[in-house]
Amino acid sequence: MEKEDLTKQLFELIPHVKEEEIIPQNNSVKELIGLERIMNIDASQIKNWRTSKVDLLEDEKLCSSKEVNGKTFQLSSKHYVLFNHLLKQIFDLEPYCSLTTLEFIEEHLFDWLIEGFLSKKVDQDPLNYLDEVLDQKVKHFNFYYKISALAIEKEIKLGDACITSFSEEDLEREYETFKYQFPKKEKREFDIYFNEFEKTPIIKISSKGTFERASSLAEYKAGLIIDVLKSALIDESIHPFYKMMDLEMRSDQNSFYTTLYNTNSERFDYQILTKRERVIPIQLTKNRVIEIRERGIQIIIDFINKPSKDEFDYVIIDALQQLSSISSTENLHERVVKIISFFEFLFMPINGISSSGKGESILKKKVLPRILLESEVGVFREIFRNLYGTRTKFLHNRIELKINKKEVFRIQGISFNLLKWLISKSDTMKSHQDLLDFFKIE
* Per-residue pLDDT of the chain in tens (442 residues, 90 and over written 9): 788 999 999 999 999 999 877 665 555 656 777 766 655 655 555 555 566 655 555 555 556 778 877 788 888 888 988 999 999 999 999 999 999 999 999 999 999 999 999 988 888 999 999 999 999 999 999 999 999 999 999 999 999 999 999 999 999 999 999 999 999 999 999 999 999 898 899 999 999 999 999 999 999 999 999 999 999 999 999 998 899 999 999 987 666 667 787 888 888 788 887 766 667 899 999 999 999 999 999 999 999 999 888 999 999 999 999 999 999 999 999 999 999 999 999 999 987 665 667 899 999 999 999 999 999 999 999 999 999 999 999 999 899 999 999 999 999 999 999 999 999 999 999 999 999 999 999 8
What one-letter code names the amino acid at 37?
Answer: R
Under a CB-based contact definition with an 8 Å cutoff, are residues 91 and 102 in contact? yes
The H-assigned helical ranges of 261-404 are 286-294, 297-304, 311-328, 332-347, 356-362, 368-371, 374-397
In this structure, which long-range contacts are made by residues 186-194, counting pairs with CB atoms below 8 Å and at least 24 apart in sequence?
A: 194/166
Question: Phi and psi (nearest 5°) for 91?
Answer: -65, -25
Cis before 15 (ω within 30): no
Angstrom distance (rounded) from CA 199 to CA 117: 54
Distance set, CA 1 to CA 5, 81, 86, 101 (Å): 7, 16, 9, 19
Distance set, CA 302 to CA 135, 224, 289 (Å): 30, 11, 17
SS3 state of residue 391: helix
pLDDT at 303: 97
Q: Which sequence spans correspond to the domains of the chain?
A: 3-26+43-137, 138-165+200-304, 307-442
Distance set, CA 15 to CA 49, 75, 78, 353, 361 (Å): 22, 10, 14, 54, 64
Contacts of 80 (CB under 8 A, 6+ apart): 61, 62, 63, 64, 74
Under a CB-based contact definition with an 8 Å cutoff, are residues 408 and 238 in contact? yes
pTM of the predicted model as reported, rounded to 2 decimal places: 0.87
Under a CB-based contact definition with an 8 Å cutoff, are residues 269 and 283 in contact? no
Under a CB-based contact definition with an 8 Å cutoff, are residues 68 and 20 in contact? no
pLDDT at 411: 97
